[in-house]
Amino acid sequence: MTTNTHSLPSGTDWPKKSLRHYVIGYLLCVAMTFISFGLVKYTPFNKSIIYLALAFFAVIQMIFQAVYFLGLKSNRDGRWNVLPFIFTIVIITFLVGGSLWIMHDLNVLTMGMYMSSN
């Protein structure tokens, strides 16, 4: 009969995650979610600061979810996963950043005076 070590997909090098690991990840993400929602609901600061804070917490929570729920790490096997992840971030930066930049410029050029909403 197969032993425990052999019954895991042996190439993936996934250490056994403890309950503590998932609970910590979960609580961290819950906290960040509440912070983000709280920032919007109770707006003491001006909008630009809140936008930045929201973006910041979104990225941080993404990293926490990737680490705690996805198991993203930079060790032997994990390193293979991190590289395409970074590449994807680069592609997305060009794609989204570029689109926003182009559309903003088009707005400016076609409307003379840039109007941000109706």
Partner 1 sequence: MANHSLEHDHSHSDTTDVFGFWIYILSDCILFATLFAVFAVLRNNFFGKPDIIKFTDISYVLIETMVLLTSSFTFGLSIISLYKNKLRSVINWLIVTFLLGAVFVGMEVSEFINLYHEGFGWQANAAMSSFFTLVGTHGLHVSIGLIWMLAVIYQLSKFGLNDAMKRRMTYLGLFWAFLDIIWIFVFTIVYLMGIL
Instruction: Provide, rounded to whole angstroms, the least separation between the CB of residue 75 and partner 1.
Output: 13
Closest-CA residue to 72 (of 96, 62, 93): 62
Instruction: Provide, rounded to whole angstroms, the least separation between the CB of residue 53 and partner 1.
Output: 10
Tokens of 59: 């990225």
Given a contact cutoff of 8 angstroms between Cβ atoms, the answer to whether 76 and 69 are in contact is: no
Instruction: Provide, rounded to whole angstroms, the least separation between the CB of residue 68 and partner 1.
Output: 8
Given a contact cutoff of 8 angstroms between Cβ atoms, the answer to whether 33 and 61 are in contact is: yes
Angle made by CA atoms 26, 31, 33, in degrees to the nearest 5: 95
Among 74, 103, 108, 114, binds partner 1 (CB under 8 A): 103
Cβ closer to partner 1: 17 or 108?
Answer: 17
H-helix or E-strand spanning residue 55: helix 47-65
Number of residues that bind partner 1 (CB under 8 A): 58
Closest-CA residue to 92 (of 53, 62, 47): 62
Please give the residue ranges that form the binding site for partner 1 (CB under 8 A). 4, 6-14, 16-19, 22-23, 25-26, 29-30, 33, 36-37, 39-41, 43, 47, 50-51, 54-55, 57-58, 61-62, 65-66, 68-70, 77, 80-81, 84-85, 87-88, 91-92, 95-96, 99-100, 103, 116-118
